[in-house]
Structure 1
Amino acid sequence: MIRCISPIDGSVYAERETLSFGDAQSAVTRARAAQSEWAAQSLADRIARVREGVANVGAMNDEIVEELAWQMGRPIRYGGEFGGFEERATHMADIAAEALAPIQIENSAAFRRIIKRVPHGIVLVVAPWNYPYMTAINTVAPALIAGNAVMLKHASQTPLVGERMAQAFHDAGIPEEVFQNVFLDHQTTSDLIARRSFDFVNFTGSVEGGKAMEQAAAGTFASMGLELGGKDPGYVMDDADLDVAVDTLIDGAMFNSGQCCCGIERIYVVESLFDAFVEKAVALVNTYKLGNPLDPETTLGPMAQARFADHVRAQTAEAIAAGATAHIDTTLFPQDGGAYLMPQILTNVDHSMRVMQEESFGPVVGVMPVKGDAEAVQLMNDSSYGLTASLWTKDVARAERIADQIETGTVFMNRADYLDPGLCWTGCKDTGRGGGLSMIGYHTLTRPKSYHLKKA
């Protein structure tokens, strides 16, 4: 049984029965049988159906926004995820013909030599709860467009999301066997992967979860994409627009109660701007309202589960005990408790503290002064993760030089916490491997097939 406990009040919001291993195998068999016919349809038709499915999700958005508040705690004032959901799917639909076009090597009187992109077959998408629509569509849309069958296993915290997406895409004419929402427990998922039920697995979640996926797939040679943990840094240089840097980086640290894959978890500020940065950041966070996400005035809702909040509380308490300074007054956030976690800004932190090394995934950020670029690069790279980094300067050439030195998947200049669908979404180190969205996303979700045709 999958059970969603709402972070709003601790009540059971939704329950779903999980499939037995036998029923799950039957679902895989149906997907396998339907995939070839789906792939045989024209690319234009597949694109049109995916576009319609995306539009159908948009038509549900009013209901979805409230469902998300109940399932994972995001305040309704932010309007859900459809903007990013549609942007990503639309871009992948727009570039599909070019991305999937055969590469012609030769077409002479003697030979026709080409490389085609062909679908893997069945793609399993294991999606997380923090941005449940946007993270899922990153793979679902291009996988379907490329001719794969897709099985979506959503997080137990957000079980309604897969149901909504399945309804939307089925109503658009995508066969039920081609796009299936499935409720699976961890063991059944691992057993299916170990039996090579899927040709490609895309997993977004914890490092430990990614290790479990790789262990299950050992020896199957199934392709896999993994987006795991992150500890994304920001670096504010001496020529930065300080007000914009504060607004963007602090929003990147606190939005969605800090539960963002590419959220800002540590900030390095050049010494000359450090005090002003901290002063402005504290003033901004002091305006936040922690409370019930169904209240339109709430800017910071509960974390998805109380244990996630307790993890961040422990990191923060340890840092303070080791000498860190907490700048946000606890009396400003009387609602703090359980899943409801007040935001916090810490200074006098260093890399011996868990809050600066381990993923927090909550509304806390440590801020450190640095002497210059060399120290900032060293500190940014002193991490087991590598998803994004955010650089703040007016000098594009300087930013690119620094970016070349940072061990990460994406480097931003003068923005943060954003996923550009035209660029490859990727990471390094414990953040995982593979690449989604962009042209490379299509290469990930297909395999090359070579044709060497000697003419008579």
Structure 2
Amino acid sequence: MTKTTKCISPIDGSVYAERECLSKDAALEAVARARKAQKAWAARPLQERIDLVLGALAEVERTHDRMVTELAHQMGRPTRYGGELGGLKERATYMAKIAHDALAPTVIEDSAAFSRKITREAHGLVFVVAPWNYPYMTANNTIAPALIAGNVVVLKHAAQTILVGEHLADAYHAAGVPADVFQNIVLDHDTTSALISENAFDFINFTGSVGGGQAMERAAAGTFTGVATELGGKDPGYVRADANLDAAVDGLMDGAMFNAGQCCCGIERIYVHESLYDGFVEKAVAWVNALKLGNPLEEATTLGPMANVRFAKEVRAQIDEALADGATAHIEKMPADDGGAYLTPQILTNVTHNMRVMRDESFGPVVGIMSVKNDEEAIELMNDCQFGLTAAIFTADAEAADAIGARLETGTVLMNRADYLDPALCWTGCKNTGRGAGLSELGYHALTRPKSYHLKKA
């Protein structure tokens, strides 16, 4: 019996797209075609590969309306925000810009006696398993630099955003990237695990849940295949006594609520100096009450549904548990809240770290806010977490932010902004957020292996 993958639209619960999963044999044939194509692709001049990747980016831009409409139907992002083109362009163009330097040999010696250098060699076949929440940017964070570095790529996209993989493949192929060099395929979990365990790939990049990352590592055990993971998050924000209150509210609440809170580096817990606490909560509540929950296809909507009913169910459960344990909710149920994917955003106070809403990943439009006396208490609470992706500090003192950041167990420290990925900096995490190095020069290093030359000339 042929297995299928379905995308259930959060707009109305209908089946928006359905695709057949490849059998194991068909998937192995796709892998074989990719491997056969890799050497010729890597042999092309670097600038030619860069130009083809940038051509794919231009093709996505040309078909921007498709991105916007399909995203709304697949995962509920309001069309007013225009999809992901801005971030996609920023990241891909930066990686193209630095490619020559990042992939250049490190020359140790070039004399009459010796030539000694370290080059970067493509892994070969890179397998990208992409998530649904920022489906273009997260996928292309690896696809673009992997192809530029001389790898071939097989993409498996999340079921919730299955059409994104097709759109990216259409764009790359229209730009001139050979069909076997970049393939988008549909796989079920069992076939995915079987391919990994049989050493089908040379490098795996997975973005998703902790459980999904563990499954990837288990499947790869003993194959020596590199596995890069970006998993859960529970990112904190800290508002120091010297912070600009309005800027902190705008930055942190946007970080908590944009994309219905479904952001890898979204703000899920906030610690505010006691001198600003009451004012912050008051302004934060007003900020959230100004949101318009509704159909993402309507221009007035600023907050769409969560991508799936089951995701909203988990957020509701965390909120209900917190309220039962003494937390205070500040946002009244909104008219569009249907008990399903359409979920009222929520601010909670009187929360503690004994509550799941302050401990487990929520990945939805809810945030807990706590008062702190000083930096020491804030640092202790920010580090009291199983995850470590980003941490945001709002302060007028850059030196203080730097000192606090040095003590935080996180992958990225942000000052006076939140929920942002700088492509010039390494995107990485610690603890149960996983291990990996995306974008920046280190992203190229992750997608290649070092190869040393020690050439004695005389």
Flag whether TM exceeds 0.5 (same fold): yes
Q: Secondary structure at the match of 1:317?
A: helix
> Offset of 1:108 from its aligned partner?
1.3
Superposed, 1:60-209 pairs within 5 Å as 60-209=63-212
Rounded Cα–Cα distance in structure 2 between residues aligned with 1:397 and 1:284: 29
Q: Secondary structure at the match of 2:243?
A: coil
Of 427, 430, 451, which aligns to 1:428?
Answer: 430
Aligned to 1:320: 323
Aligned to 1:401: 403
> Residues 361 and 189 from structure 1, CA distance in 2 versus in 1: closer, same or farther, beyond 3 angstroms?
same
Letter in 2 for 1:267: I
Rounded Cα–Cα distance in structure 1 between residues aligned with 2:5 and 2:336: 32
Aligned to 1:36: 39
> Offset of 1:224 from its aligned partner?
1.2
In angstroms, what is the RMSD of aligned CA positions? Answer: 0.6
Aligned to 1:279: 282
CA deviation map 1:181-218 (0-9, x unaligned)? 01011111111110111000000000000000000000
| Aligned partners of 1:336 and 1:342 also within 8 Å | no
Letter in 2 for 1:28: V
Rounded Cα–Cα distance in structure 2 between residues aligned with 1:172 and 1:36: 20
Of 226, 230, 245, which aligns to 2:229?
Answer: 226
CA deviation map 1:120-163 (0-9, x unaligned)? 00000000000000101100000000000000100001111011
> Offset of 1:334 from its aligned partner?
4.4
Letter in 1 for 2:305: P
Letter in 1 for 2:196: I
Letter in 1 for 2:349: T
Q: Secondary structure at the match of 1:308?
A: helix
Superposed, 1:260-409 pairs within 5 Å as 260-330=263-333, 332-409=334-411
User: Does structure 1 residue 6 correspond to structure 2 residue 9?
Assistant: yes
Q: Secondary structure at the match of 1:389?
A: strand
> Offset of 1:63 from its aligned partner?
1.7
> Residues 115 and 334 from structure 1, CA distance in 2 versus in 1: closer, same or farther, beyond 3 angstroms?
closer
| Aligned partners of 1:152 and 1:181 also within 8 Å | yes
Rounded Cα–Cα distance in structure 1 between residues aligned with 2:305 and 2:289: 17
Rounded Cα–Cα distance in structure 1 between residues aligned with 2:135 and 2:436: 20
> Offset of 1:64 from its aligned partner?
1.3
Letter in 2 for 1:6: S
> Offset of 1:434 from its aligned partner?
1.2
Letter in 2 for 1:50: V
| Aligned partners of 2:294 and 2:336 also within 8 Å | no
Letter in 2 for 1:23: A
Q: Secondary structure at the match of 1:157?
A: helix
Rounded Cα–Cα distance in structure 2 between residues aligned with 1:15 and 1:434: 32
> Residues 240 and 31 from structure 1, CA distance in 2 versus in 1: closer, same or farther, beyond 3 angstroms?
same
Rounded Cα–Cα distance in structure 2 between residues aligned with 1:309 and 1:410: 28
CA deviation map 1:342-388 (0-9, x unaligned)? 00000000000000000000000000000000000000000000000
User: Does structure 1 residue 253 correspond to structure 2 residue 261?
Assistant: no
Q: Secondary structure at the match of 1:433?
A: coil
Rounded Cα–Cα distance in structure 2 between residues aligned with 1:397 and 1:64: 41
> Offset of 1:399 from its aligned partner?
0.3
> Offset of 1:289 from its aligned partner?
0.8
Aligned to 2:447: 445
Rounded Cα–Cα distance in structure 2 between residues aligned with 1:158 and 1:395: 41
Q: Secondary structure at the match of 2:119?
A: strand
Rounded Cα–Cα distance in structure 1 between residues aligned with 2:418 and 2:287: 17
Rounded Cα–Cα distance in structure 1 between residues aligned with 2:198 and 2:35: 14
Unaligned runs of 5+ residues in structure 2 are none
Q: Secondary structure at the match of 1:402?
A: helix
* TM-score (norm. length: structure 2): 0.99
Rounded Cα–Cα distance in structure 2 between residues aligned with 1:154 and 1:447: 25
Number of residue pairs matched by the alignment: 455
Unaligned runs of 5+ residues in structure 1 are none
Aligned to 1:16: 19
Rounded Cα–Cα distance in structure 1 between residues aligned with 2:226 and 2:332: 48
Letter in 1 for 2:67: I
Tell me which stretches of 4 or more aligned residues in structure 1 moved more than 6 Å: none
CA deviation map 1:282-308 (0-9, x unaligned)? 011111111110001001111011010
Letter in 1 for 2:360: E
* TM-score (norm. length: structure 1): 0.99
Rounded Cα–Cα distance in structure 2 between residues aligned with 1:334 and 1:48: 46
| Aligned partners of 1:123 and 1:148 also within 8 Å | yes
Rounded Cα–Cα distance in structure 1 between residues aligned with 2:347 and 2:112: 69
Q: Secondary structure at the match of 2:160?
A: coil
Letter in 2 for 1:27: A
Rounded Cα–Cα distance in structure 2 between residues aligned with 1:145 and 1:118: 12
| Aligned partners of 2:336 and 2:342 also within 8 Å | no
User: Does structure 1 residue 415 correspond to structure 2 residue 417?
Assistant: yes
> Offset of 1:336 from its aligned partner?
3.6
> Offset of 1:337 from its aligned partner?
1.8
Higher mean C-alpha displacement, 63-72 vs 360-369: 63-72
Rounded Cα–Cα distance in structure 2 between residues aligned with 1:343 and 1:230: 19
Letter in 1 for 2:214: K
| Aligned partners of 1:71 and 1:157 also within 8 Å | yes
